[in-house]
Amino acid sequence: MTTLDFRQALKGISGVPVTAYDASGEVETGVTAEIYARVAKAGIHNIVAAGNTGEFYALTPAEILKVYEAAIEGVGGKAPVTAAIGRSQREALSLARQAKEMGASAVMSHQPVDPFAAPQSQIDYFTGLAEGSELPLVAYVRADGFSVDDMVRLASHPNVAGIKFATTDIMLLSRAIAASDPNGALYVCGLAESWAPAFSAAGARGFTSGLVNVAPQFSLQVHEALTSGDFTAARKIVQKIELFERLRTRYRNGANVTVVKEAMDILGFKVGPVRAPGLARLDKEDRATLEGLLASWS
């Protein structure tokens, strides 16, 4: 898939499935592939293997490859599979090479988590991966501190298909989009459905989603509304999912993946608990709240 073709997929929903574990805590590739198949069948435009909702940082490199394999098998060509890469630049490039060999369509680089990373050097990290990868790259920007020039430099790299912008600094987003070549990288809302209307108004296109694991119909409704410019309709759906997304923000976002996995469990998918340092399971009160919410959606 060319960078230009992949940008079209990024204008849609980038769904991030969970990773299932068996009773011994090992990656359960069969259930994981089933979840990817479910998301693909729903019509999600781009599917991310081993993203944050897939617990990238809790997986070993060997386990990440297992998730890639399950993703590619489950999606079955119905949508692009974007393989998440990260950690050291050398490890990330190794993962990118293996993802290409396995049949992935693109790669998404997690932002480096080094506490002493300089903003301009983080851009160097991303562009180095874009240079070394034979697949189109999405750069996942999660931290504040970048300048407009940083964003423009990243967006101008010919192999950077998109920037997954996952901070609430909408002023930076708006200024960066205005300063960037419109034919360059696409700026994508990296904060899911709740922030998608505001990001769309600022000029971003497409959004990421963990909700697609549980209720992809709502994600698709938000996307359809924003594509047609109907912000009122988009806000109505966002209000419908507000409690689900609010539960995910508990414990400084430590329950982000937990809520999704517990919802999948309620729906009958045995995905196992979240690995540390995420919250393993919800308490009884939050679980009951989630059960009631899912019942109200059915």
Would you say residue 160 has pLDDT above 90?
Answer: yes
In angstroms, rounded to a whole number, what is the distance separating the alpha carbons of residues 180 and 202? 13
143 pLDDT more than 90: no
Q: At 114, which amino acid appears?
A: D
Share of the chain above pLDDT 90, in %: 98
- pLDDT digit string, tens, across residues 79-120: 999 999 999 999 999 999 999 999 999 999 999 989 999 999
User: What's the whole-number mean pLDDT along residues 198-202?
Assistant: 98
Once rounded to an integer, what is the mean pLDDT over residues 125-135?
99
**Within a domain: 31:** yes
Q: Which residues are known binding-site members for pyruvate?
A: 53
Q: Is residue 291 part of a domain?
A: no
> Is 164 one of the catalytic residues?
yes
Q: Is this structure's pTM higher than 0.95?
A: yes
With respect to residue 38, please indicate whether it lies within any of the assigned structural domains: yes
Beta bridge partners of 82: 48, 106
Is residue 262 a part of any domain in this protein? no
In a domain, 290, yes or no: no
The rounded distance, in Å, linking the Cα atoms of 43 and 25 is: 30
Write phi, then psi, for 138 (nearest 5 degrees).
-105, 130
Burial class (CB in 10 A: 0-12, 13-18, 19+), 228: exposed
Q: What is the mean pLDDT of the chain?
A: 98
| pLDDT (0 to 100) of residue 1 | 87
The kind and range of the H/E element at 260 are helix 256-266
pLDDT at 12: 99
Residue 281 within any structural domain of the chain: no
Q: Are strands 137-141 and 106-109 parallel, antiparallel or unpaired?
A: parallel
Q: What is the pLDDT of residues 32-81, one digit of tens each?
A: 999 999 999 999 999 999 999 999 999 999 999 999 999 999 999 999 99
Into how many domains does the chain fold? 1
Output b/e per residue, 128-137; b: 16+ Cβ within 10 A.
bbbebbebbb
CATH of the domain at 26: 3.20.20.70
223 exposed, middle or buried (CB, 10 Å; 0-12, 13-18, 19+)? buried
Catalytic residue among 164, 240, 251, 270: 164
pLDDT band at 144 (very low <50, low <70, confident <90, very high): confident
Q: Which amino acid is at 253?
A: N
Annotated binding site: 53
Is residue 140 among the annotated active site residues? yes
Question: Distance (Å, rounded) from C-alpha 211 to C-alpha 136?
Answer: 25
Which residue range forms the structural domain that includes residue 178?
Answer: 3-228
User: Is residue 255 in a domain?
Assistant: no
Q: Residue 84 contacts by C-beta under 8 Å, 6 or more apart in sequence? A: 48, 49, 50, 51, 54, 56, 64, 107, 108, 109, 110
> For residue 255, what are its two tokens?
């329950």
Q: Which of 21, 105, 118 is nearest to 66 (CA)?
A: 21
Which candidate in 66, 140, 187, 261 is catalytic? 140
Q: Does residue 180 lie in a domain region? A: yes
